[in-house]
Chain A
């Protein structure tokens, strides 16, 4: 085969593999994942409906229900949009202070809060800017800033009323296609540069109104579902974080958090361990109900990060940070030294190599 044809052939083979992968049900090239009115149903062992969602469900996805039962998806029928899950365990939720979660990753080593600042910052953004609520916005998608932006604004306002600094990015990540998460990654990086305590990606789901409508304090609100990506190295910490928030929400406002969906995907949660995707209601709910629901959730967030449990964990943090900085320096130096010696093939060779490394070599 002529050499010039090999890259072309390779690209064609790759393209044909990709095109044979599952595609959106609707043939329209620009449309959403599922057409309005279509959604997946996740059923439990007894056939009970656990979850109705516009998110595509894959094998090995997991779902923590409102009553804290963890299910794993064992079968998916993409044509009928029905998935079946088996019960894995009943989870006893507990609240893990967020400073402890960051210490698990060594992050308190490199960040130290201003001791005079009472509350930190919470960052918000929307990967899918166009998402809207049909009863209030008249459509499920507005190509630009959709109704979800007003839900985000309500979330931000509720946090600010509690004295929390909010970093709210309304940057657009359109077109409304699969590349939105690649584009929103840049927004996450910009927000992270400002060192927020947590980041939320605010979405809405696509499901029947009954899936999210709930009455709390004699008011109709929408419940909130967390989505945690399984394809990132922070999954363990993200799981504890999501469970902590749910536990606190269950105590403060039972029914506010309907569950935690552990789905295939990254959702840019590899960039920060305290990063969560929120589904605030569905396109079939009213936006006003979603705003009320997310405003209650703001209280949960404030309580988790800056409330009594957070204050207790704050004590001794400064000392722990100093010890951790020294510990990390020692660890990195030791690990680097071991790698260097092994790579060089012995101590003598390593010493010679170190001398050589100090003289910059020309590789051309």
Chain B
């Protein structure tokens, strides 16, 4: 008998559905080919199994976290200068909002769950800023990472000696979840606005 992680199964199913056309419009808007999208998903599956390694006495890195970062870098460097600027802006806004809500909202999850907040902020920011799915993806991904890095700096300043682990791979990590959620939000709001706009034109 063979064991198989649930998230890997889900990713496999998503890959199959992708071949069948699911998310076609989202991929179109992110200007990804079928091959690129499938490779990205397969690489995410692989990232789930990568281990955590100690870099220093204070920092450990989950190698799986490099996978979504690599994907984000690929999306960023294969796009225009304007898009790069937009992605950077969305990322900074997302990171700032995550940081502020972490500090100002109540400790326990409830209003605006901290796991989904990054995706929501990146999605909304990207929607306001040119409705860019690529920027939404990069903003959700890197925004969460920036806040984690800021947390590490804060702990160093506060003299915490324990080792901190950065990053995680897999579809359900907060970084990847934020990225996909951000794209989904941008797509949904964009489609809704288009539908309303078309409906208004028909009434006229």
- Seen from chain A, the residues whose Cβ lies within 8 Å of a Cβ on chain B are 6-7, 9-11, 14-15, 18-19, 21-24, 29-30, 32-33, 55-56, 58, 107, 110-112, 143-145, 171-172, 174-183, 185-187, 189-190, 192-193, 195, 229, 231, 263-268, 271, 318, 321, 332, 336, 339-340, 343-344, 353, 357, 360-364
Contact of B108 with A33 in the complex, beta carbons under 8 Å: yes
Q: When the two chains form the complex, which single residue of A144, A186, A336, A357 contacts B165, counting CB atoms closer than 8 Å?
A: A186
Report how far A360 CA is from B3 CA in the complex, Å: 32
- Alpha-carbon gap, A331 to B113, bound state (A): 33
Contact (Cβ within 8 A) B1 A363: no
Identify the closest chain B residue to A344 (Cβ): B21
Contact B104 A181 (CB under 8 A): no
Complex alpha-carbon distance, A187 and B27, angstroms? 31
For B, the interface residue count at a CB cutoff of 8 angstroms equals: 75
- Shortest CB-to-CB span from A27 to chain B, Å, is 10
Assembly CA distance A58 to B112 (angstroms): 13
Residues on B lying within 8 angstroms of A by beta carbon are 1-6, 9, 13, 16-17, 19-22, 27-28, 31-35, 48-49, 52, 62, 89-90, 93, 97-98, 100-118, 121, 124-125, 127-130, 144, 147-148, 151, 154-155, 158, 160-165, 167-168, 170, 172-174
**A363 lies within 8 A of B32 (CB):** yes
**B125 contacts A189, C-beta separation under 8 Å:** no
Residues in chain B near residue A21, CB distance under 8 A: 105, 111-112
Bound-complex Cα distance A55 to B109 (A): 10
Q: How far is the CB of A158 from chain B (nearest CB, A)?
A: 24
Contact of B104 with A185 in the complex, beta carbons under 8 Å: no
Is B113 in contact with A11, judged by CB distance below 8 angstroms? Answer: no
Query: Are A193 and B48 in touch, CB under 8 angstroms?
Result: yes
Nearest CB on B from A306, distance (A): 19
Q: Which residues of B contact A56 (CB under 8 A)?
A: 106, 108, 110
Q: A24-B106, A30-B103, A229-B109 are in contact. Are A7 and B32 (CB under 8 A)?
A: no
Q: From known contacts A179-B151, A363-B27, infer whether A111 and B102 are also in contact, taking CB-CB under 8 Å.
A: no
Residues of A with C-beta under 8 A to B167: 186
Q: B110: shortest Cβ distance to chain A, in Å? A: 4
Closest CB-CB distance, B193 to chain A, in whole Å? 13
User: How far, in angstroms, from A23 to B101 measured CA to CA in the complex?
Assistant: 9
Q: Which residues of B contact A360 (CB under 8 A)?
A: 33-35
B20 lies within 8 A of A178 (CB): no
Q: Bound state CA distance, A32 and B106, in angstroms?
A: 8
Which listed residue, B90, B105, B155, B173, touches A175 by the CB 8 Å rule? B155
Best-surrounded residue of B52, B89, B98, B108 (most CB of chain A within 10 A): B108
- Please tell me if the beta carbons of B158 and A55 are within 8 angstroms of each other in the complex: no
Is B1 a contact of A178 with CB atoms below 8 Å? no
A11–B120 Cα distance when bound, in Å, is 12
Q: How far is the CA of A140 from the CA of B55 in the complex (A)?
A: 32
**Which residue of B is nearest A58, CB measured?**
B110
> Which residues of B sit under 8 angstroms from A144, Cβ to Cβ?
160-162
- What are the residues of chain A within 8 A of B62 when measuring CB–CB? 186, 190
Q: What residue of chain A has the Cβ atom nearest to residue B118's Cβ?
A: A182
Q: Decide yes or no: A336 and B49 within 8 Å by CB, A32-B107, A110-B6 being known contacts.
A: no
Q: Closest approach, in angstroms, between the C-beta of A347 and any C-beta of chain B?
A: 14
